[in-house]
């Protein structure tokens, strides 16, 4: 991916990544089908994108569908694919109008062909937009991503294109799906669960983690603002000792 300019304001996280969790529980608590929870979750996506733009966050990554989610019931997977299809068809014009660059990270080989074509079209049409860089992780698993990056480096060494001594963290990161994108400063997970669930494991090494009790369909701009304000109170030291007072 192309290198893009980052925000210069240290008070604003350059990159916020969100694990959108709790659609099914939101629906179950209301006696509704899980599919309705996912549809309400799409409304929360719209609110979150709008909030990120208002806060001046340049990079936003949303974890929409994991590689493990393929094991869910076929009817639920089909509904999620249908929701993604409709989102790409109905929201692209608005995304483009608002200056948002859309990119999708994950294993596209498992996605329906028509959705892959919609993704390719959306990425091409929004390529030059810079107001917000929106990444959606679909059919994504961080362990798979890391393993594939390691495999490509091993093949380059085997083919004499690379010396093992040349492999360092920067070179490895260039082989990840997020190459050219800053690591997330802030990772938010909704629904009260406190784990990363195979999401951006390499990239989140020094991210600030904030866990929100709200289920994703109830997440709104005020929750995003509260998470950013909590982030601003954190002392990010990247492993270094705190300065003496």
Rounded-to-integer distance, Cα 38 and Cα 24, Å: 7
Provide the annotated binding site.
21-26, 34, 38, 66-68, 70, 72, 189, 195-197, 208
C-alpha closest to that of 68 among 215, 218, 203, 197:
197
Name all contacts of 38-41 with Cβ < 8 Å and 24+ positions apart: 38/79, 38/80, 38/83, 39/83, 40/217, 41/216, 41/217
Rounded-to-integer distance, Cα 56 and Cα 92, Å: 21
Placement of tokens 């604003």 in the chain = 12
Pairing of strands 132-140, 100-105: parallel
User: How large is the greatest C-alpha to C-alpha distance in the chain, in angstroms?
Assistant: 60
Provide the annotated binding site for Mg(2+).
21, 208
Q: Give the catalytic positions in this structure.
A: 21, 69
Q: Cα dist. 22→6, 27, 96, 190 in Å?
A: 31, 9, 28, 7
Provide the annotated binding site for substrate.
22-26, 34, 38, 66-68, 70, 72, 189, 195-197
Rounded-to-integer distance, Cα 39 and Cα 84, Å: 10
Are 236 and 206 in contact by the 8 Å Cβ rule? The answer is: yes
């Amino acid at each position: 991916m192309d290198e893009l300019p980052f925000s210069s304001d240290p008070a604003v996280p350059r990159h916020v990544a969100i694990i959108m969790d709790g659609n099914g529980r939101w629906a179950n608590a209301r006696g509704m089908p899980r599919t309705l929870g996912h549809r309400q979750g799409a409304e929360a996506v719209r609110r979150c994108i709008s909030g990120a733009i208002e806060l001046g966050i340049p990079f936003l990554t949303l974890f929409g569908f994991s590689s493990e989610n393929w094991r869910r019931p076929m009817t639920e997977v089909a509904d999620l694919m249908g929701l993604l299809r409709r989102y790409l068809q109905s929201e692209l014009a608005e995304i483009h109008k608002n200056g948002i660059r859309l990119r999708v990270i994950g294993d596209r080989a498992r996605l329906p062909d028509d959705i892959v074509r919609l993704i390719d079209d959306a990425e091409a049409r929004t390529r030059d937009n810079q107001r917000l860089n929106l990444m959606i992780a679909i059919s994504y698993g961080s362990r798979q991503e890391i393993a594939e990056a390691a495999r490509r480096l091993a093949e380059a060494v085997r083919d004499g294109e690379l010396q093992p001594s040349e492999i360092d963290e920067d070179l490895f990161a260039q082989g990840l799906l997020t190459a050219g994108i800053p690591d997330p400063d802030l990772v938010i997970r909704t629904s009260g669960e406190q784990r990363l669930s195979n999401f951006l494991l390499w990239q989140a090494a020094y991210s600030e983690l904030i866990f929100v009790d709200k289920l994703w369909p109830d997440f709104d701009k005020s929750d995003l603002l509260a998470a950013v304000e909590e982030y601003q109170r954190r002392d990010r030291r990247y492993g270094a000792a705190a300065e003496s007072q």
